Amino acid sequence: MRNIKITIKYDGSRYKGFQRLKDNDMTIQGKIEDVLSKMANENIEIIGSGRTDMGVHAYGQVANFKTTSNLSVDKMKTYLYEYLPEDIVITNIEEVDERFHSRYNAKSKVYLYKIYNNKFHDPFLRKYTTHIHKKLDIELMKEASKYFIGEHDFTSFASSKSKKKSNVRIIHSINITENDGLVEIYFEGNGFLYNMVRIMTGALIDVGHKKIAPEDIKIMLEEKDRTKAADTASAKGLYLYKVSY
Amino acid sequence: MRNIKITIKYDGSRYKGFQRLKDNDMTIQGKIEDVLSKMANENIEIIGSGRTDMGVHAYGQVANFKTTSNLSVDKMKTYLYEYLPEDIVITNIEEVDERFHSRYNAKSKVYLYKIYNNKFHDPFLRKYTTHIHKKLDIELMKEASKYFIGEHDFTSFASSKSKKKSNVRIIHSINITENDGLVEIYFEGNGFLYNMVRIMTGALIDVGHKKIAPEDIKIMLEEKDRTKAADTASAKGLYLYKVSY
């Protein structure tokens, strides 16, 4: 069996998330599996590097699948481009070692969170950013972000639905840029708990609004209690940006 | 009667164009007039600087309207923001001289045309750019654009439906930029005929694909015959960018 790795860019606005649910539900995985199964004339399941929730987007989600098909990867890419809906595009496709597993082998991930910080929202950004009308103090947010860097127990910053054995994760870097009201926050880490980026973003927004101080992040981490941290920022500002192996 | 000038940014994807048609049709003008009439408790008609077609967007459409309302312009702006659909936003509002007319007083307009030039389309740009998969030669397009500058009879570059007395217009400048596959063409002129920007863009695309030479633009202008020029580029890449007074 050949093992094929694909990189996927998608506008998640119309979908119930990445992971396949019931057969008729709109999911990214479902759409891709349906097209691949038709292409290869066999039942194909793809393994994603991780789930993304309803409304979350991706610049570089990664998945892999096994197939007996003899088609060249270029032909597969063209077939996928032709038959997938136009809000899902395969940006890269390659044949990989049979042991490659898009979830287990992921070394680090980058998530991007986009905020539009302006009194009035922008018609073109409404599905692709979270609108925050009250002015954010970006310098305070940068200061606060440093408390997340390194190895921590992120229990306070994970959905209470998260069922992982350990809530310890390493954040390598957080970069915040602001340009004409568009605030972009890049989070790089070895792994992320359920809702972790959205809750960290919620806390950074609270800092930006001076509801809490930058050093409060340190206390929240130490409390290891989800009820002590911030609200979960909305899905439409979140992008799975890159997965590294 | 007070005379109020508004600047409007809209995502035209869902609309049948700017101009009001029948009462239940989705138009930008219709949506704005309905909200304004409710706000002022009188029948309000807005005068746009010009029409935009179905699917065309705007960064800076301008309109004006007369009203007996005593509301401050700031309160009007907030009311409009609250009651307009989120793909139409009033970015500026001011009281102007009673003689101001958004169409007759317009001195120049800038239209922007966006092309995404890449083998595969981008999920996030699909509604906001025209996808051209075959590589464009940007330098040739820049060379060709110079033939449009100045005063010309644009009959070859106007829809045959255009019913203006004169087809003579002045193009002040055309600026073309390219960044990571996103090609942006800014056209500034004293006025534009029906479909003129989209037909000029069609001709520039033909030059970029070497179907015609840059100097063929000169010949097309001289022919004064719509059937000699290029196809009309699609609506979704077009933006009314700015109107100057």
Compute how many other C-beta atoms are within 10 angstroms of the C-beta atom of residue B59: 18
- Note whether B122 and B81 are same-domain residues: no
Q: Report the amino acid identity of residue B150.
A: G
Task: Name the residue type at position B148.
Answer: F
The answer to whether the CB of A197 falls within 8 A of the CB of A214 is no
User: What 3-state DSSP class applies to A214?
Assistant: coil
The three-state DSSP-derived secondary structure of B179-203 is ECCEEEEEEEECCCCCCHHHHHHHH
Residues B174 and B234 in one domain: yes
Q: Residue B115: name the closest of B180, B194, B212 by CA.
A: B180
CB pair distance less than 8 Å for A121 and B91: no
Among B96, B127, B159, the domain boundary falls at B96
Name the domain boundary from A75, A96, A117.
Answer: A96
Residue A77: domain span: 2-96
Measuring CA to CA, how many Å separate B241 from each of A50, A165, B10, B112, B214? 40, 53, 11, 6, 26
B residues 24-53 near A, CB within 8 Å?
Answer: none
Does residue A16 sit at the B interface (CB-CB below 8 Å)? Answer: no
Q: B104 CB near a chain A CB, below 8 Å? A: no
Residues B81 and B118 placed together within one structural domain of the fold: no
**CB atoms near residue A122 (< 10 Å):** 21
Q: What tens-digit pLDDT sequence spans chain B (245 residues)?
A: 999 999 999 999 999 999 998 877 899 999 999 999 999 999 999 999 999 999 999 999 999 999 999 999 999 999 999 999 999 999 999 999 999 999 999 999 999 999 999 999 999 999 999 999 999 999 999 999 999 999 999 999 998 776 778 999 999 999 999 999 999 999 999 999 999 999 999 999 999 999 999 999 999 999 998 887 788 999 999 999 999 99
d(CA B77, CA A208): 26
Residue of A nearest to B92 (CA): A120
The domain boundary, picked from A57, A76, A96, lies at A96
Q: Is the pLDDT of residue A195 over 80?
A: yes
Domain co-membership, A120 together with A183: yes
Clarify whether A87 is annotated catalytic: no
Report how far residue B230's alpha carbon sits from residue B76's, in angstroms, rounded to the nearest whole number: 44
Share of chain A above pLDDT 90, in %: 91
Angle at B239 between CA B61 and CA A178, to 5 degrees: 90
Question: CATH code at A21?
Answer: 3.30.70.580
Q: Write the DSSP symbol of residue A23.
A: T
Domain harbouring A159, CATH code = 3.30.70.660
Distance (Å, rounded) from C-alpha B60 to C-alpha B110? 9
What is the reported pLDDT for B25?
84
Considering the domain architecture, whether residues B122 and B238 belong to the same structural domain is answered as yes
B237: helix, strand or coil: helix
Interface residue B245 vs chain A (CB under 8 A): no
> A40 is written with which tokens?
């290869």
Q: Alpha-carbon distance A13 to B140, whole Å?
A: 38
Domain contains A103: no
Same domain, B168 and B240: yes
Whether the Cβ atoms of residue A135 and residue A115 lie closer than 8 Å to each other: no
* Residue B17, min C-alpha distance to chain A (Å): 16
Residue A228 lies inside a defined structural domain of this protein? yes
- State how far the Cα of A169 lies from the Cα of A189, in Å rounded to an integer: 7
| Residues B131-150 pLDDT 10s | 999 999 999 999 999 999 99
Q: Are residues B189 and B232 in the same domain?
A: yes
C-alpha to C-alpha distance for B8 and A219, rounded to whole angstroms: 45
Tell me if ipTM is over 0.85.
yes
When pLDDT is averaged across residues A212-238 and rounded to a whole number, the result is 91
Distance CA(A236)–CA(A78), nearest Å, equals: 29
